[in-house]
Amino acid sequence: MIVPMKKAYIVVQAHNGRTMLRDLRKGGLLHITSEQVQTQKIEQLQKSHDQIYTLRNVILDLQDKKHMPSQTDASEEVFFMSSLNDIRDFLRQKKNLKRKLRLIQLVLKS
């Protein structure tokens, strides 16, 4: 008995595609097609990706590979500056607390 085919849409992750196709063939499915979904958002993302990749390659080509900037030097300098700023903040807080303590002592003496 010949039965007309019915159309079904199945969405599967790409890495599970082969297993899914094998299982469908075992189940008696006769005709399989796959479609690539294209939307405007996907096209925009692809263009952005291509531009970023091109810019990255241009930057790498222009960069002097013999004199690469040392990351540790910059990191140590940033760490030192942030530590210095923290110490300054603590000293300011200490100075303000001493003023408040003197004012409280003066008020208590009066």
- The three-state DSSP-derived secondary structure of 69-104 is CCHHHHHHHHHHHHHHHHHHHHHHHHHHHHHHHHHH
Q: Which of 60-69, 87-96, 99-108 has the lowest mean pLDDT?
A: 60-69
| For range 37-57, the mean pLDDT | 85
| For range 52-78, the mean pLDDT | 71
Residue 108 has pLDDT above 70, yes or no: yes
Measured CA to CA, the distance from residue 5 to residue 29 in angstroms comes to 9
Measured CA to CA, the distance from residue 55 to residue 46 in angstroms comes to 14
Query: What percent of the chain is modeled with pLDDT above 70?
Result: 80
Q: Tell me, what's the pLDDT at 34? A: 67
**CB-CB contact of 12 with 20 (8 Å):** yes
Q: Would the pTM count as exceeding 0.85?
A: no
Residue 5 has pLDDT above 80, yes or no: no
In the structure encoding, which two tokens stand for residue 109, read together?
Answer: 């003496």
